[in-house]
Amino acid sequence: MAISRTRKEELLEAYRQQMAESSGFIMAEYHALSVPQMQDIRRRTREQGGEVFVIKNTLFEIVLQEADVTATEELMTGPIVVAFAHTDVPSLAKLFRDVAQNLEENRFTIKGGMLEGSFFDAREAAAVADLPTREELLAQVLRTINAPATQTVGVVAGGIRQVLNVVKAYADKLGEAAGGGETAEVAA
């Protein structure tokens, strides 16, 4: 079904805005997906901080050309769905990989995408899906930052413990010396 020129301009503007606001995208070819399946993909993508669009190839080619990105003919064939990542591309790549694995063969095939201005193909999409997500990276950074602090606390606590042990030993020694002298006086 043909769409009007006005509607094409509206769609192009929406895609341009998504390209400008996102850190990248992941795209897949889909066949015979039901409405509930597509709604599930959209919901899960929103939960990951992204937006999904079923895009007409010619319109998407225009947006890519405007962004100085050249897509291969192989990427721009068949019905495509594009998920723009507003947080991180790896989480959407993982989501798309999960969807592709849970559907029957060739109903949802990852074609590639773009990460920080670099295009990647379907083979590289698997590597992108294996990258840690933003949350995983933040956890790693926090563990790295926290490790020296934990070690420092251990060293300081160990030093304080040693000083307290020396003071206690000295106090015990003084107590024994004072206690031994009292018993000698009482006996005399």
pLDDT tens track for 138-171: 888 888 887 777 777 777 777 788 878 888 888 8
Closest to 83 measured CA to CA, from 108, 58, 107: 108
Instruction: Calculate mean pLDDT across residues 10-17.
Output: 91
The pLDDT value given to residue 26? 92
Q: By three-state DSSP, how is residue 3 classified?
A: coil
49-53, 62-66, 124-128, 176-180, range with the lowest pLDDT? 176-180
The pLDDT value given to residue 43? 95
Taking only the tens place, the pLDDT of each residue in 72-121 is: 777 788 899 999 998 888 888 899 999 988 888 888 889 988 887 778 88
DSSP 132: P
- Name the burial class of residue 28, with classes exposed (0-12), middle (13-18) and buried (19+) by CB atoms within 10 angstroms of its CB: buried
Tokens (6 digits) for 1: 């079904």
CB 21 within 8 Å of CB 86 = yes
Q: What gap in Å lies between CA 136 and CA 9, rounded to an integer?
A: 39
* Biggest distance spanned by C-alpha atoms of the chain: 119
Q: What gap in Å lies between CA 129 and CA 12, rounded to an integer?
A: 28
Q: Hey, CA dihedral for 43, 45, 49, 55, is it positive or negative?
A: negative
